[in-house]
Amino acid sequence: MPGTYIILIQGVFSSSERSLLKWISKFLFLLLLVLYSAGLSAQTAERPPNIIFLMTDDQRWDNMGAYGKPEFNTPNIDKLSEEGITFDKAYYAVAICMPSRVTMMTGRHISSHRVGFVAPNDYTLSQADFAKSYPAMLKNAGYRTGFIGKVGFTVTEEATRPSTPKEHHYKKQMGEMFDFFAGSETHDRNGIVMWPKDDQKLQEIYKEGRQNSGRTLRTGEAMLHFLDTQPKEQPFCLSVSFYAVKHDNDRDVYWPHYKQFEDAQMSVPENWVEGGNPDLPVVVKENARGVYLHKQRSSTPELYQRLVRRFATQGYTVDEQVGLLVEKLKEKGILENTVIIYTSDNGRFHGSHGLFDKALLYEESIKAPLIVYDGRKRASTFPRREDALISSVDMAPTIVSMAGLEPPASMQGRDISGILNKTQDMSQWRDAVFMEDLFLVDMFQERYKNNVDEINQNLIDANKSYRARGVRTERYKYFVYYEHDPKIEELYDLENDPMEQNNLAGNTEYSDVLKNLRKLTEEIYLEVVR
């Protein structure tokens, strides 16, 4: 410290000089003390951020203004995009609800966690694996954790089959990981499991028979109530899983919001197919659920418009809740230390490629909306569009890292914090994202039978399996129906063919590209299952 030096030099100077030096020493000491204290205050101010993870259900990536479709009228989500980072090459590791949700919570691919709808990957998530999910890790680090909405998967003491048991026991299996919970399996019509048990406001929100309140409004009210009950000095992590925009039944649409879309002519994608699509692989045409659902629900202009107007209405209702969320965060003075992540669990075809439904590895199903708003943003990094290849498997390690924790070795995704703050060496970033489709509708219909593995093998032997895996690189998309004999491959140049209309797998000019991506797919798959 400054006072030390005066002892060393007092024999050199006169008494008056020594007095001056003592005064200077004291001044410097006080100055350093002030600077040191200011440094401590700055460090104390660096509190862990609050993290809000917003997930919709089956919302196609381009069904919002931020992704080029202003007719969907999503002003609040668009504002998050305008003030945050919007990813243009984000992809699901798996594009169907149950496994996708588990992937985002655990940071693991479906071939690793094996929580899917159909055999042989039809297990529940064990408590040991759930203990390594992002909510569990943040809870153990002192965060207050909350979950609202659709759970979509089941946690059990040990991983068991089938993955869709008749009972879920959320409080017993997940109670230690969430301080605040208001959720159900796939919809809220059969009641909501909720805690804290003595929260009267929460019970009022989900009161049976409550009038004039759609499922999305209730989710929004519970979300705001979580914030109203949040202790000031504790960081929080809130996961909100909207039931919208899945389904277009009358009971799932909040009709006061429908008026604006009632007579709207919604844009039609260039790859929408009226009737059937002869260009699909035969194994898909003959076996995939999306083919016959398209004929029933989206195969004519009238059916398409009816469907998309209802999805747009639900998207608008979600957007309204996003606006209320941001206003609540401002009101409480915590927006500046809050990260909001907006995405969905999978896309939906809406008639593109002559398909309805999801899971298959075309863009409409597998491409994800992803917007990250960070209240701590720096002008040098926010806002912007981002072209880095991102996977849904990255969500868990990123959230864990944002909380100042080290992602566990079990997480197979990558922390995208360096992408967000522009510190990532892009030469070291991934060149491809890996994706899988392990869903077979015939297997789903047999999921409660004891001999599911035998039934599965019979389907494969009969050449009815359309399970697929593949990669998306900066320019190309490749995937293979690997259980079909012979294997069926699809290759698309997304730079020149973003609608995936020209399969290049049989084009000799692209034989090297095909060979390289085929090899890359297998290499990544072997890493995933290791």
Over residues 124-134, the pLDDT tens digits come to 999 999 999 99
Q: Is the pLDDT of residue 34 over 70?
A: no
Stated pTM of the model: 0.91
Which tops the pLDDT comparison, 47 or 373?
Answer: 373
| Spatial distance between the Cα atoms of 194 and 224, rounded to a whole number of angstroms | 15
Q: Tokens 């003595």, residue?
A: 198
Sign of CA dihedral 130, 133, 135, 140: positive
| Spatial distance between the Cα atoms of 220 and 54, rounded to a whole number of angstroms | 11
47-419 CATH, one of 3.40.720.10, 3.30.450.20, 3.30.9.10, 3.40.50.300? 3.40.720.10
pLDDT for the residue numbered 209: 78
- State how far the alpha carbon of 386 is from the alpha carbons of 77, 84, 103, 110, 419, in Å: 17, 10, 22, 26, 8
Sign of CA dihedral 196, 197, 201, 206: positive
Question: Edge to edge, what strands does the sheet with 476-481 contain?
Answer: 432-437, 468-473, 476-481, 488-493
pLDDT for the residue numbered 140: 98
* Confidence category of residue 212, pLDDT binned at 50, 70, 90: low
Rg (CA), the chain: 27
* Confidence category of residue 5, pLDDT binned at 50, 70, 90: very low
Q: Is the pLDDT of residue 24 over 70?
A: no
pLDDT for the residue numbered 33: 37
Which residue, 301, 308, 302, 303, is CA-closest to 266? 308
| Spatial distance between the Cα atoms of 44 and 330, rounded to a whole number of angstroms | 22
pLDDT digits over 352-381, tens only? 999 999 999 999 999 999 999 999 987 778
pLDDT for the residue numbered 305: 98
Percent of the chain scoring above 70 in pLDDT: 91
User: What residue type is 430 in one-letter code?
Assistant: R
Mean pLDDT of the chain: 92
Fold equal for 47-419 and 435-529: no
Phi, then psi, of 322 in degrees rounded to 5: -60, -40
User: Number of C-alpha atoms within 13 angstroms, CB side, residue 346?
Assistant: 27
Stated as kind and residue range, the H or E segment containing 281 is none
Which tops the pLDDT comparison, 10 or 439?
Answer: 439
pLDDT digits over 224-264, tens only? 999 999 999 999 999 999 999 999 999 999 999 999 999 99
pLDDT for the residue numbered 379: 75
pLDDT for the residue numbered 67: 98
pLDDT digits over 412-459, tens only? 999 999 999 999 999 999 999 999 999 999 999 999 999 999 999 999
pLDDT for the residue numbered 17: 47
- Of 18-27, 114-123, 162-171, 421-430, the poorest mean pLDDT is in 18-27
Q: Tokens 């998050």, residue?
A: 80
Is residue 90 within 8 A of residue 416, CB to CB? The reply is: no
* Confidence category of residue 13, pLDDT binned at 50, 70, 90: very low
pLDDT for the residue numbered 42: 41
* Confidence category of residue 308, pLDDT binned at 50, 70, 90: very high
Q: Is the pLDDT of residue 51 over 70?
A: yes
Question: Which residues make Cβ contacts (< 8 Å) with residue 154, sequence separation at least 6?
Answer: 124, 125, 163, 164, 165, 168, 173, 185
Phi, then psi, of 144 in degrees rounded to 5: -85, 130
Is residue 150 within 8 A of residue 187, CB to CB? The reply is: yes
Q: Tokens 């990669």, residue?
A: 471
pLDDT for the residue numbered 8: 31
pLDDT for the residue numbered 30: 42
DSSP 187-214: -STT--EEESTT-HHHHHHT-TT-SS--
466-471 mean pLDDT: 98
| Spatial distance between the Cα atoms of 354 and 47, rounded to a whole number of angstroms | 50
* Confidence category of residue 382, pLDDT binned at 50, 70, 90: confident
Percent of the chain scoring above 90 in pLDDT: 86
pLDDT digits over 319-357, tens only? 999 999 999 999 999 999 999 999 999 999 999 999 999
Q: Is the pLDDT of residue 174 over 90?
A: yes
Q: Is the pLDDT of residue 44 over 80?
A: no
pLDDT for the residue numbered 211: 67
Which residue, 437, 480, 442, 436, is CA-closest to 462? 442
Q: Is the pLDDT of residue 471 over 50?
A: yes
Phi, then psi, of 390 in degrees rounded to 5: -120, 145
The full set of domain ranges for the chain reads 2-44, 47-419, 435-529
Q: Is the pLDDT of residue 6 over 80?
A: no
Domain covering 435-529, topology: Arylsulfatase, C-terminal domain (3.30.1120)
498-515 mean pLDDT: 98
